[in-house]
A and B are shown apart, each in its own frame.
Chain A
Amino acid sequence: MAIVTMSGKSVAVNPLKQSQPLGAALAFLGLRGTMPLFHGSQGCTAFAKVFLVRHFREAIPLATTAMSEVSTILGGEENIEQAIAAIIAKNQPELIGLLTTGLTETRGDDMAGILQRIRNRHPELAELPIVSVSTPDFKGALQDGFAAAVTAVVKQLPESGEVRPQQVTVLVGSASGPGDIQEIKEIIADFGLRAIVTPDLSTSLDGHLAQSYQTVSSGGTSVEQLRAIGCSSHTLALGESMRPAAMALQNRFGTPVTVFPGLSSLGAIDQFFMTLAELSGQPVPHKYRYQRTQLQDAMLDTHFFFGRKQVALALEPDLLWAIVQFFQSMGSQVQTAVTTTKSPLLEQLPVDRVTIGDLEDFEQQARGADLLVGNSHLGAIASRWQTPLYRLGFPVFDRLGNGQRCIVGYRGMMQLLFEVGNLFLEQELLLANH
């Protein structure tokens, strides 16, 4: 059980967290044909765009309501209306994800009222879903904004209908990248289940060549699939942050929920497979039984390098949970845990202390660690200390392949073991030679 502390400073130094609107935009990018629309000044969108392009190395469609000083004083209704009209004319979206920012939340734009009036004035919008979500920059972090967007989507789009026994909804939090989602989809399909993965970054930000140039998200969950979520027989929530969205579906449709806080340790993965076996009535396919033996073999080979190691983690709560499990299950000790935002998971973490803070806090606590785990901003600390760094979270701008990396499931955990194990191994050889 961990003691959760917040740093009491007046200044954040080298912030670890990003803002809610960025997270919400990322979630919307996992829905097909979507244009995320930031209701704020043009810079809110520009920063988010540069950030996501650097991480994924993909074109990122985003739009802004371009609030000016004057429109901030008068209210944003006209800008939102113009933006929606322009997006429809230029991009023919299947869905618009409208998210607020610190600017418009401070001003206090009444989004529900504004959207209602715009819809009244424009009957031609009747068929176009516009999902609005409140994501002030001055609260929470990327993970919260992502979760808020998913919750808003499942509160609005799914329709009730006859339950389809073979259909499950999979809500995936911001801790999972496109590569992780691809693996999860494959596993579920191998049980003969039809999964509606929401949001599905594995077909939008995975990196693939499309036939023509896309001005909205090039893949992801379709509106039709989102509507069908009401008919799913079960909701699998990956990441604790997806629980509120899953509960919203349970309240609306009575869909039972199972939450998996992480899928990067043997016990957690086993549980995931058992749940799928139960839901599908199928035995675990041979392919995965075999992969499990490969993983166990890898655990034996690598445990020499993980044992007694002190690791320092700077990750968002969901990812922090999964990675703490990963390291502890291999015999490493979590020396430092710094995170971005509140989560019910934090107090349950099997570590002494978790700090909601920045990289200055991290640097003060993590000295002497054998390995740092966190985003690319940790690179400066790692090179000053000559300590190996495993890059994870957002943003990772100095490593390639963020659209494909997989750390979940038997195969994903095995890859993670090798990648991290190699860092330990390299460091040991380096020290042995000095």
Chain B
Amino acid sequence: MKLTQGQINTLLSESACKHNHHKHGKSKNKTCTQTAQPGTAQGGCAFDGASIALVPITDAAHLVHGAIGCAGNSWGSRGSLSSGPMVYKTGFTTDLGENDIIFGGEKKLYRAILEIKDRHSPAAIFVYATCITALIGDDLDAVCQKAAAKTGIPIIPVNSPGFIGSKNLGNRVGGESLLAHVIGTREPDFTTPYDINLIGEYNIAGELWAVLPLLQKLGIRVLAKITGDGRYHDIACAHRAKLNVMICSKALINMARTMEERYGIPYIEESFYGAADLNRCLRHIAAKLGDAELQLRVENLIASETAKLTQDLLPYRARLKGKRVVLYTGGVKSWSIISAAQDLGITVCATSTKKSTEEDKARIRELLGQEGIMLEKGNAQELLRVIDQTQADMLIAGGRNQYTALKAKIPFLDINQERHHPYAGYTGLLELAKELDEALHSPVWQQVRQPAPWEVD
């Protein structure tokens, strides 16, 4: 499925995405359509985004059709965990050389697929197009089709050359591949009235495992995890779920909307971060599945989990109370983490709204109060200025801002996908409290801020 410019535009102006609904002054909100600007470092490309969305499918092989830069510089760097198969962690690439560029890479790609099938027997193979293979015109769809016939396993083309756009677009491109080639191709062994899909949860640092036991206790079955700790067969059966639960992400909204149109599956947008949001998420799922008994079970679960959590959090709440943080992260997390922080008695002085929708912003405004600062733009210097101005105690942001904070001797907590600690669910909130406490109260701060004795008069 080669994406035409028209299809890309459709993905960019995804109708269910709130980013595309509200006009700002004269122009539309350009969050997704905005293109990278030359001259600064930018976020990842569409290939990066497609990998983020699909590589967590643990029993599939992920083959990057391109030169070594795309796979060689990035393989194995994502924090998505598996409870079983490990083939997704293997870095496969056609590693194209000069001759392949001149004569075309299709034959090498075909042979590569057969070699992977022979030596690694994955459930399926996802094949990612990159800038170079798009430029030289390799026909990914045709090769995948031929290889699928030969190997007898699904070979899924992902049309993700980096130059078509940002990581966000790449997420949706990944979703399109699932919609076009995977979902609805198999039938589950059985179904229950309590089957849901999770969409946009990537099991970073094993976060999913803090939530799945809760769902299991409630009798809710996760039919397909899209895609954290996902299995190919389960995702192929995803069209039989009763409800799609989108987690903390607009990235795969195209999937939720299309599945509603195509299979009549309703969807809700939720967050697993913080007790208040998780409670709301569980209540919404129960309400949508429409079973009074389930709703009662949810209330009982919430009561017992929050009682236990409140007890566990007591010492940390005391130590975190009144601390001030600046939050710098994207989209939904810009409010879902505020909610989690407030659960802990922390004041969020400022947050980014760069990738937030109008709806997100309204929510942030409500959560932050009138004094809170909403950062429309953010670079390192701007962040440091705001931290200084608000006299914040720490920065909570993605890994790329870690050194902005540390070099300025400001405590830091990583909230994005490279992190090593799971913050979702009730146990995740406790983990978040412990991490915040450690970051804020480390004995190093006082020492690194202390001038050398010979510099003091």
Contacts and interface: CB of A to CB of B under 8 A. Distances in A.
B72 A43 contact: no
A41 B162 contact: yes
A67 B72 contact: no
Contact of B43 (A9, A42, A209): A42
Contact of B407 (A9, A66, A101, A209): A209
A42 B72 contact: no
Interface in B64-122: 66-77, 89-98, 100-101, 108-109, 111-112, 115-116, 119
A213 B77 contact: no
A130 to B, nearest CB: 13
Contacts of A59: 380, 403-404, 407
B131 A72 contact: yes
A61 B400 CA distance: 11
Interface stretch (A17-25, A174-182, A238-246, A418-426): A17-25
B39 A85 contact: yes
A86 B418 CA distance: 29
A80 B38 CA distance: 7
Interface stretch (B44-52, B204-212, B225-233): B44-52
Contacts of A69: 134, 161, 163-164
Given A68-B163, A137-B67, A210-B407, A11 B116 contact: yes
Interface in A1-37: 9-15, 17-22, 37
B35 interface: yes
A18 B72 contact: yes
A271 interface: no
A231 B46 CA distance: 48
Contacts of B163: 41, 67-69, 72, 103
Contacts of B46: 43
B115 A11 contact: yes
Nearest to B380: A213
Interface string B123-160: 00000000110111000000000000000000000000
A187 B328 CA distance: 45
B155 to A, nearest CB: 13
Nearest to B409: A209
B117 to A, nearest CB: 10
A22 B40 contact: no
Given A15-B75, A103-B132, A107-B135, A86 B404 contact: no
A66 B38 contact: yes
A221 B90 CA distance: 39
Contacts of A294: none
Contacts of A51: 73-74, 77
Contacts of B136: 106
A46 B42 CA distance: 6
A287 interface: no
Contacts of B135: 72, 103, 106-107
B41 interface: yes
B91 A13 contact: yes
A67 B134 CA distance: 14
A103 B131 contact: yes
Given A139-B98, A213-B404, A47 B40 contact: no
A129 B132 CA distance: 30
A90 B101 contact: no
B399 A53 contact: yes
B292 interface: no
Given A64-B41, A103-B135, A50 B95 contact: no
Contact of B42 (A42, A79, A136, A380): A42
Contacts of A54: 77, 418
A46 B417 CA distance: 14
How big is the A interface, by class?
35 or more
Contacts of A137: 66-70, 132
A48 B73 contact: yes
B63 interface: yes
Contact of B36 (A18, A47, A64, A101): A64
Nearest to A10: B111
Contacts of B384: 213
B70 A47 contact: yes
A82 B109 CA distance: 36
B92 A11 contact: yes
A408 interface: no
Contacts of B72: 15, 17-19
Interface string B25-45: 000000000011111111111
Nearest to B116: A11
Contacts of A101: 69
A322 B54 CA distance: 40
A348 B403 CA distance: 43
Given A14-B91, A66-B42, A21 B63 contact: no
B166 interface: yes
Contacts of A47: 44, 48, 69-70, 73-74
Contact of B115 (A9, A20, A63): A9
B101 A12 contact: no
B307 interface: no
A102 B403 contact: no
A418 B414 CA distance: 34
A185 interface: no
Among B66, B98, B101, B407, find the residue whose CB has the most chain A CB atoms closer than 10 A: B407
A209 B112 CA distance: 47
B44 A42 contact: yes
Contacts of B403: 53, 57-59
A2 B191 CA distance: 61
Contacts of A141: 68
Among B46, B68, B119, find the residue whose CB has the most chain A CB atoms closer than 10 A: B68
Contacts of B404: 59, 213
Contacts of B45: 41-44, 46
A21 B116 CA distance: 28
A136 B407 CA distance: 34
Contacts of A325: none
A266 interface: no
Interface string A222-264: 0000000000000000000000000000000000000000000
Interface in A83-105: 83-87, 90, 101-103
A62 interface: yes
B456 interface: no
A90 B38 CA distance: 12
Contacts of B66: 102, 137
A288 to B, nearest CB: 30
A138 interface: yes
B44 A138 contact: no
A17 B68 contact: yes
Contacts of A134: none
Given A68-B163, A106-B132, A82 B90 contact: no
B314 interface: no
Contacts of B111: 10-11
Given A14-B76, A103-B135, 8 more contacts: A10-B94, A11-B116, A42-B162, A47-B74, A65-B38, A66-B35, A72-B163, A137-B66
29 contacts: A10-B108, A11-B115, A11-B116, A15-B91, A15-B95, A17-B72, A18-B69, A19-B67, A19-B73, A42-B43, A44-B162, A46-B167, A47-B44, A50-B399, A50-B418, A51-B77, A53-B399, A53-B402, A63-B40, A64-B39, A66-B36, A66-B37, A86-B37, A90-B39, A107-B135, A137-B70, A138-B67, A138-B68, A141-B68
6 pairs of A and B residues whose beta carbons are closest in the complex: A86-B39, A43-B45, A137-B69, A19-B69, A83-B38, A11-B112
